[in-house]
A and B are shown apart, each in its own frame.
Chain A
Amino acid sequence: MPAKGANIQARMRAVETSAPEARAPGGSSGVRLRAVDRTYLGRRGPVAVLAGMSLHAAPGEIVAVVGPSGCGKSTLLELICRLQEPDAGTVEADPAALMPQRDLLLPWFDATDNAALALRARGMGREEARAAAGPWLDRFGLAGFERSRPGELSGGMRQRVAFLRTLLAGKPVLALDEPFAALDALTRLEMQGWLGSLLAREPRTVVLVTHDVEEAVVLGDRVVVMSGRPGRAVAELEVALRRPRHRTDPEVIALRERALEALGIPR
């Protein structure tokens, strides 16, 4: 497993990458939420999901958001992607593409068509979209699986196709919703390393929501810790560490402990 990951990373280093549509035109602002409230109407009355949530991600910055389950992390991403509007407060964000928690690949499309879905959603023809996505599949370690349907791919491969689909949407902001939560522990480690080296070459503004504190520290430039519902930011940790980072680095471990402490989990 680690050998396979290293192989992919080596190949990614070897191929010169270029972003499909790099940044938002004009002055990009990244992502900024100010004192956002969001309440749903539940079966037993209103449920406050977010209350006074603030968050900032500068252009090109990777912000990892951790919090207990049900703290409104997914709502946060939908606000950033403009799938929802806040009840109070403001959301300013460059256009964002969502990578949902489950891969949600279309079973009737092969890997290439799935990766190219965002292109076709914009009206690009099938052949053109496939041609555009083709080289990226190679860079993502999916060579030889271009025509495989999702059912024929491993969990890690599916997640890479799903990530590529989000990347090819060409949005300056990537909203990643626990992208590796559904993977087994080994594949998750491999994919975390893979994503880290990919984002080093393809810098984007990333808001990465996760319940894995270690993942947050390894991948994020900054870690935002959220409270339980209704969610708000209770702590922020700068991760000024060199990349690539490893979960066994003493600095990573120290930061992980601080994040866990902020989450209220005793050592």
Chain B
Amino acid sequence: MRAEVRLWRAAGRLIVSWRTIVILIALVGAWELYVDLGAVDALILPPPHQVAQALYDDRSLLWSGFLVTAEEIVFGILLAAAASLALAVSLHLSRTLRRAVYPLLVASQAVPIVIVAPLLVLWLGFGFLPKLIVIAIVCFFPIVVTTLDALAAVDPDLLKLMRTFDASRPRTFRHVELPAALPGLFTGMKIAVVFAPIGAVFAEQAGSNSGLGYVFQQAIPQLLTARAYAAVFILAVFAIALFTLLTLAERLLLPWAYEPRGENPQ
């Protein structure tokens, strides 16, 4: 019961701190004033009230776009997490593989996704799959790195201890290394949440007829800038929601990661 209350308080702190709201109101107010005072054309930078108006007027268009993009992002992150965990574990268990593959992983991230996305669409078509893959490509790297670091951070003395207990390699992995890697997996996913919308928008712009990225791309040439901003706003809110959800899931699934370490200092 108490744990539950603590959990919700933590969630509340993440979503709405009054300081965040104050800063937000100040920013939005400054933006509104800046446009209203005629410093910039409302077609180029729509004032916040027009964006709000667009959110309401175009709600069905935005909502159907959001559903498409949200599905891509959620499954893209899950695919990235599964692939990253498998890859991180393989790299951790085989030093040869790590030496051979890690540099390639780093290099793969240097290839701009803007270029990769259209090529994937060309190859795989306009459907769900190329979006999934683009998002997974954007997301998997931070997850691999944080998971691999967590695996490497396992205390060598703990591994020695398991050896004196005659533990086989798979059992040591299951009881000691895998649980230690899970907080790293979550950290990576939280970073990935920020990258996933970027990947989704690129993938949709490269070729699709649905999704918020598509809405955005259609709105700009029609000078419906308020609608474009509304799409961006929805993506930002969605990223915050996913981040909060992941944080809550981590607290529920790995409560021990939030306790004091419980180890004698030395």
Does B125 sit within 8 A of A, measured CB to CB?
no
**B10-18, B38-46, B86-94, B159-167 - interface stretch:** B159-167
Say which residue of B166, B167, B259 sits within 8 Å of A151 (CB atoms): B259
| B257 x A104 contact (CB < 8 A) | no
Shortest beta-carbon distance from A73 to chain B in Å: 14
Contacting residues of chain B (167-218) with chain A, CB-CB under 8 angstroms: 167-168, 171-172, 175-176, 179
Does A97 count as interface, using CB distance less than 8 angstroms? yes
Contact B164 A81 (CB under 8 A): yes
Give residues 107-125 of B contacting A (CB, 8 Å).
Answer: none
Say whether B71 faces chain A, with CB atoms less than 8 Å apart.
Answer: no
B102 within 8 A of A: no
> Is A106 a contact partner of B179 (Cβ separation < 8 A)?
yes
The closest CB in chain B to the CB of A98 belongs to B164
Q: Does B264 reach chain A (CB closer than 8 Å)?
A: yes
Contacts of A57-88 to chain B: CB distance below 8 A: 78, 81-83
Q: A94: shortest Cβ distance to chain B, in Å? A: 12
In the complex, residue of chain A having the shortest beta-carbon distance to the beta carbon of B259: A151
Contact of A105 among B163, B166, B263 (CB under 8 A): B263
Q: In the complex, what distance in Å separates the CA atom of A96 from the CA atom of B265?
A: 25
Number of B positions contacting A (CB below 8 A): 28
A100 within 8 A of B: yes
0/1 interface trace, chain B 233-266, chain A, CB 8 Å (1 if under): 0000000000000000000001011011111111
B171 & A150 in contact (Cβ 8 Å cutoff): no
Asked if B263 contacts A169 (CB within 8 A), the reply is no
Judge whether B157 is part of the interface by a CB distance below 8 angstroms: yes
Select one of B162, B256, B266 contacting A107, CB under 8 A.
B256
Name the A residues within 8 Å of B257 (CB-CB): 107
Q: How far is the CB of A85 from chain B (nearest CB, A)?
A: 13
Knowing A107-B259, A149-B256, A149-B259 touch, does A169 contact B264 (C-beta < 8 A)? no
Interface of A is mostly: loop
B171 near A123 with CB under 8 A, answer yes
Query: Chain B residues with Cβ under 8 A from A183's Cβ?
Result: 264
Chain B minimum-CB-distance residue to A177: B157
In this assembly, does A6 line the interface, its C-beta being within 8 Å of a C-beta of chain B?
no
Tell me if B58 is interfacial: C-beta within 8 Å of chain A. Answer: no
Of the listed stretches A18-26, A152-160, A208-216, A220-228, name the one at the interface; the rest are far from the partner chain: A152-160
Seed contacts A153-B262, A155-B264; 18 additional CB < 8 Å A-B pairs: A81-B164, A98-B160, A100-B160, A104-B157, A104-B161, A105-B263, A106-B175, A107-B262, A117-B175, A120-B175, A121-B162, A121-B167, A121-B172, A149-B262, A150-B263, A151-B259, A151-B262, A158-B263
List, sorted by A's number, 22 A–B pairs whose CB atoms are closer than 8 Å: A81-B160, A81-B163, A83-B160, A98-B160, A98-B161, A100-B157, A102-B266, A104-B157, A104-B158, A107-B257, A107-B261, A107-B263, A117-B162, A121-B175, A122-B165, A123-B171, A149-B262, A151-B259, A151-B260, A151-B262, A158-B264, A182-B264
Using a CB–CB cutoff of 8 Å, the interface residues on chain A facing chain B are 78, 81-83, 96-98, 100-108, 117-118, 120-123, 149-153, 155, 158-159, 169, 171, 175, 181-183
